[in-house]
Chains A and B, each alone.
Chain A
């Protein structure tokens, strides 16, 4: 089953229209250019540059990719259209982690720890709470006992929002009142998880810009406190990135990695026209795999990341 299936279906009918309108879906463009040509010329490389830059891959990573492609072309003498395309894709995919070891295990697979604690972090409005709702649903469906912790005690109605997601997913939630100490909520949640014999705990945190030192420290503290209750917790720290974000995502990855040691990325809002190309450089530079993607606002709109499908989508 293609993991991008839903994505494709969702987008299929709008694809043609979108292609024309946005001119960012450049696989078609590249295809047109390469068709009938046997070698990579500057025009193709220029096109490739445009495809990548307009997908938010960033100038630096784009140049890296172009270098790699050129080096490979110099090595392999004759290149057919098909080969060229495959080559370009392979070079890009290679930049991202994504071997089976880094791929998240299926939701029904046995978990390495019990309770398995996931902490979700990111800047404001990227889709943390929604992703938690989706993850909870997946784990629940796979037969796991899930518990959510509402450690965003800051944003207006953040607790209520997670509460609704908990209800939709059919999982319990630990919460305190608005303004409570988020670390205390996280601690309580882990305590409850131990007492209730839960499999998976997912902690929501308030959105925060990575430039705010005090808030980043608070995040580090939430993390530390969890480790005190459950050794090794959190076992997974997911940084949520919005696919429409540009180069600032690098800063985000850098700062969050520094303060809470991110172990995986979630790329949300891929159901729009943004390609989320920024994760290529991030995955490469920080050696963090992309684990999941968000493709809509419904509870089922979450997929396990597939880097080949992702790269293919860059050229669509």
Chain B
């Protein structure tokens, strides 16, 4: 997508090349493309409009650089502006000088609050803190049970209020008593889970306000599903008006949503996004990185996460060698094979490959699990060294021979070669595009940072 956005921009900007300067006239089409890309990524209509306006102002009058194409230059401006807008620095949660630090978690139904509460408790526990959870969702069927089970799995206590096996329907009371309980047991962090609620549900919005008044939390977090569309601005605004929350948690980022809601929310409430939730398991919590989010919104995939894990596996020398190979288009199947061996050590192959821009879909089709991984290995293994070094010589009869050699179909061999070609192309684009970029360059991708 990123590739296609920049390709589109290339087309739209042909006229700019040779003109020396970016003017209102010569970037009109481009701005439309950018706006559309943002809308496709679920950035709110109005926000997308304001944003492109700002980008335009930045771009206007700018010199068209010689080293990069105008399209790349504009994408870079968009990217930088996005990163800037999403908040350049990481914001954590400040702990209260006098414990317990009280953290109130709120949001719409099903956004991932309860899971996040479990994750946050785990996060603090691993930092040597003594967290406690409070089950103030007294409505949803089995909500208390859910929190208890999550808490049990990480060995964190939960405060819940039940009488005769029934959940007491008083969220404010649960929250208040939990604070007292945390003090009594010297727990230094209290995380309060609340019921999902619609921002226009007056009674429920009042309830969460009442909880706030009763416990005076040090931190209020608004949990949002990253797949949210245009309505994100409405819900964020309303929750913010009611609670004046301190930060946002974006969930379900392990999927392929472009996550434009992040930009929408930032621009209407000006509150930092503090955490990213990336899976159902309790260890799937990360700090929020604006650069990754910007790449995502622009459709570049979660390159940086990939980079980080890659760094653990690749040393600098190898990285430099690889980078050069990619730049000079020498990257061959032998290198690919070698990389796969390393990637194998980095964790779930599927997750990793999924982070590479444009790979998500192919992976699903290919069904790259460990078996498929073995397939790739098998296919490459039955190639001659010459074929590995020069994949372009692999013609039809060679394909048939390779397929026979590894006991797979010619189709599988074709798939692999296609995937390899696409990967190569993608890597090259990335080096070109981000070579001077702040976040991603290929030396980083391969560990040389």
Contact, CB under 8 Å: A247 / B40: yes
- Which segment, of A28-36, A51-59, A82-90, A106-114, faces chain B? A51-59
Given the interface pairs A246-B230, A248-B255, A248-B258, the reply to whether A157 lies near B280 with Cβ below 8 Å is no
Contact, CB under 8 Å: A50 / B45: yes
Cβ distance B416 to chain A, nearest Cβ, rounded Å? 17
Chain B residues with CB under 8 Å of A58's CB are: 39-40
Interface residues of B in 178-230 (CB under 8 A from A): 198-200, 202, 225, 227-230
Given the interface pairs A123-B227, A251-B256, A272-B200, the reply to whether A21 lies near B234 with Cβ below 8 Å is yes
Interface residues of B in 79-117 (CB under 8 A from A): 108-112
Contact, CB under 8 Å: A272 / B198: yes
- Binary interface profile of A, 42-69, with partner B (CB < 8 Å = 1, else 0)? 0000000010011110110000000000
Chain B residues with CB under 8 Å of A297's CB are: 109, 139-140
Of the candidates B109, B234, B256, B368, which one forms a contact with A213 in the assembled complex, judged by CB atoms under 8 Å apart?
B368
Contact, CB under 8 Å: B230 / A209: no
Cβ distance B206 to chain A, nearest Cβ, rounded Å? 13
Contact, CB under 8 Å: B146 / A125: no
Cβ distance A207 to chain B, nearest Cβ, rounded Å? 8
Of the candidates A125, A160, A212, A275, which one forms a contact with B225 in the assembled complex, judged by CB atoms under 8 Å apart?
A125
Chain B residues with CB under 8 Å of A14's CB are: 200, 202
Cβ distance A46 to chain B, nearest Cβ, rounded Å? 11
Contact, CB under 8 Å: A24 / B231: yes
**B residues bordering A, Cβ < 8 Å?**
36, 39-42, 44-45, 108-112, 139-143, 145-146, 148-150, 153, 198-200, 202, 225, 227-232, 234-235, 237-238, 252, 254-258, 260-261, 280, 350, 354, 360, 363-364, 367-369
- Shortest Cβ distance from B255 into A: residue: A209
Given the interface pairs A156-B146, A247-B229, the reply to whether A124 lies near B280 with Cβ below 8 Å is yes
Q: What is the bound-complex CA distance between A216 and B200, given in angstroms?
A: 35
Cβ distance B38 to chain A, nearest Cβ, rounded Å? 10
Is there a chain B Cβ closer than 8 Å to A188's Cβ? Answer: no
**A residues bordering B, Cβ < 8 Å?**
11, 14, 18, 21-22, 24, 50, 53-56, 58-59, 123-127, 133, 154-158, 160-161, 163-165, 168, 209-214, 216-217, 242, 244-249, 251, 255, 269, 271-275, 278, 297
- Shortest Cβ distance from B39 into A: residue: A59
- Shortest Cβ distance from A159 into B: residue: B142
Of the candidates B149, B153, B199, B354, which one forms a contact with A272 in the assembled complex, judged by CB atoms under 8 Å apart?
B199
Contact, CB under 8 Å: B280 / A272: no
Chain B residues with CB under 8 Å of A18's CB are: 200
- Other CB < 8 Å A-B pairs besides A24-B231, A54-B44, 19 of them? A14-B200, A18-B200, A53-B39, A59-B36, A125-B109, A126-B110, A154-B280, A157-B146, A164-B141, A213-B350, A244-B231, A246-B261, A247-B40, A247-B229, A248-B255, A251-B256, A255-B364, A269-B198, A272-B231
Q: What is the bound-complex CA distance between A249 and B40, given in angstroms?
A: 12
- Shortest Cβ distance from B198 into A: residue: A272
Of the candidates B40, B110, B142, B199, which one forms a contact with A242 in the assembled complex, judged by CB atoms under 8 Å apart?
B110
Q: What is the bound-complex CA distance between A100 and B108, given in angstroms?
A: 34
Of the candidates A124, A157, A247, which one forms a contact with B142 in the assembled complex, judged by CB atoms under 8 Å apart?
A157
**A-B CB contact pairs (8 Å), 21 listed:** A21-B238, A54-B45, A54-B230, A55-B230, A59-B40, A124-B112, A125-B252, A133-B141, A168-B141, A210-B256, A211-B254, A214-B369, A242-B110, A246-B42, A246-B228, A248-B227, A248-B256, A251-B257, A272-B198, A272-B231, A275-B231
Contact, CB under 8 Å: A246 / B227: yes
Contact, CB under 8 Å: A244 / B256: no
